[in-house]
Structure 1
Amino acid sequence: MTVANRTSYPVDQLLHWAEQTPDATWLTQYDAGARRTMSWREAADDVGRMASALKAKGWPAGSRVAIAGMNCAHWFLADLAIQMAGLVPVGIYARQASQTTQWILKHCDAKAIFIGPMPSAMATDMLQQGLPDGIVTIAMPYDGAPAAEHSWAGFARAHLPLRRYDQPSAETLATLVYTSGTTGNAKGVMLSYGNLAFTSAVFREVIPAKPGERLFSYLPLAHILERVAVEMASLYWGAEVYFLERVEKMSEQLMEAKPTRFVAVPLVLSRLQASFTARIPERQLRALVKRRWIGPLLRKRMVTRLGLQDSRALFCGAAPIPHATLLFFRDVLGLDVYECYGQSEALYCSMNRPGAQRLGSVGKPFSDANLRLAKDGEIQVRHPGVMLGYFNDPKQTAAAFTDDGWLKTGDKGRFDDDGYLYITGRVKEIFKTAKGKYVAPGPIETVFMGGNDDVDQCCLIGMHLTQPVMVVSVSHTALTKPREDVERGLLADMDRVNAPLEDHEKIAKLLVVAEHWSSENALLTPTLKVRRNEIEARYAAAVTQVARRREVLVEWQ
């Protein structure tokens, strides 16, 4: 294998480890109860053969090839083979509406799609309904992968590993990341090889790797957070990666992986917290871990039960995390969670880190990341990780940048006197009540989410209402409790949250729903953020009825 120059991109890193530590395990995969491993040499051989097969199709350089399915070893291999062949990978979420999938595949003119294991028959049906005519389909070698025109082995069988890798320039399009979006059609974020290299270097330098790093891949690989923090990190660190087979096996397989780094979104950490406090009240746990003899043993047992006993760093991003959850992990479990900030369009921008952490903030900007606040408080960014633009959408691309070239993130924020960044909401999520007063729902929702295991998700609604109403999706645990106990706790939370708010911001009523919000019913994005417009539409009639009543109440649906 020859490489044109020595700038290190993902394919370079694969070839490096295949040469330096060929027999070391890189990928550990669970499939139908069996545990399979793949070495660096095996992975490089598989990637090289698939890259040859893709090049043999004669598609023009830069053509798009999609990857769908749950996280698995062959998701990584497909991603790298597409890059090695000079094509552009496009991730498709495993749980995604067929209309969205069809929009993305047609919008980017995908020539082919790799299909991996799917989480359910419904997800398989939605994917297949979204496939446009003429697209080449290739099934990954897993029991849970749907039938396709080609099998992985069959597509690549007649090809020898690609002998020459023509390394791209830093400006070359590396991948399209379609934003999950809370409104409208997804936009294709164009990220270059230079974008990815910059972000990977910054991430690695903030908390340098140590020998024997292990990572656990379970967040959607169609999202850039998992791609950079797990896939690319493993390539640059030489880290072993374990893949989650099924959600119901999360606890078992996380305990086996024992990751040295763990990446999460807030909802995952909140649910891990609830797995303890649903059995033993948090106040009691806090008292127990302070006891001289039992405390260290209890803490070790809890952390081991999570499979995080070897974790040197826990990272959280993609959405605001309740302060109470950060405190639980720090004070009860003894684990620091480092919040970071970024988005598909700007990759990483800031991060808390060892020795430089402030709870509630998203840390200080990286040294090479320029951040500023506009007059309305919007965070604007300019650094080498900022996207090239939106694919085939010059109008949206122009709208995303200021006249002097800074990316408009759409997030509002503030800096404290020491330079720590705090996210205070989204510019477009601010709504005006019937009183003509503006309310930023994000910070209010984040506070409400903290400290009550009965709350799984919430969404503050107030457009055209005299006073805001909080819609609450309760946890599975709450549904097993007496209704009066749940209501009492929620009303106490409402009083706690309302206390520091201005009168026009205060929550007037609670609408409690037993419906579980998920990406399958389109109430959450694939990265577990609330789709505000969908929530408002789904519960509009019920919210209006609750708002018309005079008394402060908790209304159940």
Structure 2
Amino acid sequence: MTVASSTSYPVDQLLYWAEQAPDVTWMIQHEAGAIRTMTWREAADEVGRMASALKAQDWPAGSRIAIAGMNCAHWFLADLAIQMAGLVPVGIYARQASKTTGWILKHCEAKAIFIGPMPSAVAADMLQQGLPKDIVTIAMPYDASPVSEHTWAGFARSHLPLRRYEKPSADTLATLVYTSGTTGNSKGVMLSYGNLAFTSAVFREVIPSKPGERLFSYLPLAHILERVAVEMASLYWGAEVYFLERVEKMSEQLMETKPTRFVAVPLVLSRLQASFTARIPERQLRALVKRRWLGPLLRKRMVTRLGLQHSRALFCGAAPVPQATLLFFRDVLGLDVYECYGQSEALYCSMNRPGAQRLGSVGKPFSDANLRLSEEGEIQVRHPGVMLGYFNDAKQTKAAFTSDGWLKTGDKGRFDHDGFLYITGRVKEIFKTAKGKYVAPGPIEAAFMGSNNDIDQCCLVGAQLTQPVMVVNLSLTALTKPREEVEAGLLADMERANAPLEDHEKIAKMLLVSERWSSESGLLTPTLKVRRNEIEARYAAAVTQVARRREVLVEWQ
């Protein structure tokens, strides 16, 4: 099969595959013990009917239509139908505070929202509480989709598929992607069709597809990483897509899918690593895989248990990956993980790739991506994937760019002599201690976590403290172990992380917390990144007490 022109857009690709491979399965959906499949022709028919129904509402061109719920086939269909109708899709995270949902829907002036299966009754209630009273609600056809004003079938029933697709210009707004809101209200990143076409073309050039590609969709589709690396990749590659039904079934469905490409965030990789090292110490695993006969068999068994035996490439982005995790995947499992760098505002910027990889870096910039460092070391970007700006926010848009038109990423970095880019922290996350010294927490946190399965997440705080304190969110594994064993490991981690640091950067104390950090609790973003401001506020009193005590490692909450 031949992929259509690289300048084609998502709807073009759907129509292309519906014509070239009409009876080939595109999507595989699990629900309540049943498996539903959808071919390219069936998908194009559903999208065309829904696009007709949307156009019949007579909403102005470019009106915003939201999509909420867990990853599913109809998330893709809704996204494409909205685009086909000349409207703008806006993703809403399934696990998100109602006030955040309400703010986004009002800010983008959404006319309607497609609501898919929700991960829990609590999440469904939070979504419902955030819906404006005048918004049109359309339920996707799943048992776990909340009751809405319209059903999917009912809304589109009387409409024939839209036959005429008016291809937009490259500078037309294609989608709004709201940021995770780690430091305040989410901002609506405006991405054009040209932005998306550029990014998908670069991605396909760097990692060319092969026949029989299979993808596993489980990271939130409201995040641009999943939209580009899975949804759009499937449209351009003609790849099958399997959808995660529930988080508890992740291992089972990953083994069933056997993806040829796998996209992850650091926490997912760390938890996959922990699924092995929680039972067999990593040092022992490393020794076993080096044995002449046993090693290859053991490695094959472990990779097969993950469902990654057919993966040609593993990608990781959205946050720094502990180097110990990358080394585990490479040395123990025999799998290279290619770290990539980008953000909602700039899509992809750089990537490690086969034949051009350096651990600890985020690879080399793409050939068409211009990156530079400011005098302060901030990474600045200019390429065709950079956003149009922030929706309804001229002030923030102006602040995001330099006077000569380069996007200010907010990330600090450095290039090595071979041109590999290293992320050294976030400009806004750098804090000043009471000694007047500046500390960049990101690299220290990554070094501290290492490969310790007792750590689920961590956050270094230290503004106005004499010396930084590490707040440690203990894993469920840690809570089943003797306290002395957990503490000994953490103290060793602290000593190892502190060794290369300047005195003012060194971790002085640790605050251990057993409370689950999650997006529901407000301490993590929906993409599993730490909300630093929320962590600092939640534990401010405890951190102050820990800083005053003599003990290095304090408190079990």
Give the shorter-chain TM-score range: over 0.9
Q: Which residue of structure 2 aligns with residue 222 of structure 1?
A: 222
TM-score (normalised: structure 1): 0.99
Contact 1:474 1:513 in 2 (8 A): yes
Contact 2:7 2:197 in 1 (8 A): no
Render the CA deviation track for 1:429-473: whole Å, top value 9, x for unaligned.
000111111111010001111121100000001011111100000
Any runs of at least 4 consecutive aligned residues in structure 1 with deviations exceeding 4 A, and if so which? none
Q: Which residue of structure 2 aligns with residue 543 of structure 1?
A: 543
2:160 pairs with 1:176? no
What is the CA-CA distance between 1:32 and the residue it aligns to? 1.1
Render the CA deviation track for 1:384-404: whole Å, top value 9, x for unaligned.
000000000000000000000
Task: Determine the C-alpha separation between the residues in 2 that align with 1:526 and 1:34.
Answer: 28
Task: Determine the C-alpha separation between the residues in 2 that align with 1:356 and 1:178.
Answer: 32
Render the CA deviation track for 1:282-330: whole Å, top value 9, x for unaligned.
0000000010111111101000000000000000000000000000000
Q: Secondary structure at the match of 1:170?
A: coil
Task: Determine the C-alpha separation between the residues in 1 that align with 2:264 and 2:551.
Answer: 39
Q: Secondary structure at the match of 2:550?
A: coil
Q: Which residue of structure 1 aligns with residue 510 of structure 2?
A: 510
Task: Determine the C-alpha separation between the residues in 2 that align with 1:501 and 1:236.
Answer: 46
Contact 1:48 1:162 in 2 (8 A): yes
What is the CA-CA distance between 1:556 and the residue it aligns to? 2.1
Render the CA deviation track for 1:119-178: whole Å, top value 9, x for unaligned.
001100000000001100000000100000000000000000001000000000000000
The equivalences for 1:141-540 within 5 A come to 141-540=141-540
Task: Determine the C-alpha separation between the residues in 1 that align with 2:449 and 2:7.
Answer: 45
Task: Determine the C-alpha separation between the residues in 2 that align with 1:299 and 1:121.
Answer: 40
Contact 2:108 2:391 in 1 (8 A): yes
The equivalences for 1:32-111 within 5 A come to 32-111=32-111
Contact 2:512 2:553 in 1 (8 A): no
TM-score (normalised: structure 2): 0.99
What is the CA-CA distance between 1:6 and the residue it aligns to? 9.7
Q: Structure 2: which amino acid aligns with 1:19?
A: E
Task: Determine the C-alpha separation between the residues in 2 that align with 1:456 and 1:304.
Answer: 25
Q: Secondary structure at the match of 2:428?
A: helix
Task: Determine the C-alpha separation between the residues in 1 that align with 2:534 and 2:211.
Answer: 46
Task: Determine the C-alpha separation between the residues in 1 that align with 2:299 and 2:554.
Answer: 36
Contact 1:487 1:554 in 2 (8 A): no
Q: Which residue of structure 2 aligns with residue 139 of structure 1?
A: 139
What is the CA-CA distance between 1:8 and the residue it aligns to? 0.7
Task: Determine the C-alpha separation between the residues in 1 that align with 2:313 and 2:442.
Answer: 26
Superposition CA RMSD, Å: 0.8
Task: Determine the C-alpha separation between the residues in 2 that align with 1:414 and 1:464.
Answer: 27
What is the CA-CA distance between 1:99 and the residue it aligns to? 0.4
Contact 1:29 1:242 in 2 (8 A): yes
What is the CA-CA distance between 1:183 and the residue it aligns to? 1.4
What is the CA-CA distance between 1:50 and the residue it aligns to? 0.2
Task: Determine the C-alpha separation between the residues in 2 that align with 1:380 and 1:480.
Answer: 45
Q: Which residue of structure 2 aligns with residue 118 of structure 1?
A: 118
Q: Secondary structure at the match of 2:301?
A: helix
| 153-162 or 446-455, larger mean C-alpha shift | 446-455
Task: Determine the C-alpha separation between the residues in 1 that align with 2:290 and 2:397.
Answer: 53
Contact 2:6 2:201 in 1 (8 A): no
Q: Structure 1: which amino acid aligns with 2:502?
A: E
Q: Secondary structure at the match of 1:165?
A: coil
Task: Determine the C-alpha separation between the residues in 2 that align with 1:70 and 1:182.
Answer: 21
Identity value in percent: 88
Q: Secondary structure at the match of 1:428?
A: coil
Q: Structure 2: which amino acid aligns with 1:320?
A: P
Contact 2:190 2:391 in 1 (8 A): yes
Q: Structure 1: which amino acid aligns with 2:77?
A: L
Contact 2:434 2:464 in 1 (8 A): yes
Q: Secondary structure at the match of 1:429?
A: coil
What is the CA-CA distance between 1:547 and the residue it aligns to? 0.3
Task: Determine the C-alpha separation between the residues in 2 that align with 1:340 and 1:505.
Answer: 27
What is the CA-CA distance between 1:52 and the residue it aligns to? 0.2
- What are the ranges of 5 or more consecutive residues in structure 2 without an aligned counterpart? none
Q: Structure 2: which amino acid aligns with 1:126?
A: M
Task: Determine the C-alpha separation between the residues in 2 that align with 1:343 and 1:502.
Answer: 30
Contact 1:322 1:449 in 2 (8 A): yes
Task: Determine the C-alpha separation between the residues in 1 that align with 2:469 and 2:432.
Answer: 13
What is the CA-CA distance between 1:181 and the residue it aligns to? 1.7
What is the CA-CA distance between 1:7 and the residue it aligns to? 4.2
Contact 2:64 2:88 in 1 (8 A): yes
Contact 1:214 1:260 in 2 (8 A): yes
Task: Determine the C-alpha separation between the residues in 2 that align with 1:370 and 1:187.
Answer: 24
Task: Determine the C-alpha separation between the residues in 1 that align with 2:483 and 2:398.
Answer: 51
Render the CA deviation track for 1:352-408: whole Å, top value 9, x for unaligned.
000000000000000000000000000000000000000000000000000000000
Task: Determine the C-alpha separation between the residues in 2 that align with 1:186 and 1:6.
Answer: 31
Render the CA deviation track for 1:406-426: whole Å, top value 9, x for unaligned.
000000000000000000000
Task: Determine the C-alpha separation between the residues in 2 that align with 1:96 and 1:368.
Answer: 35
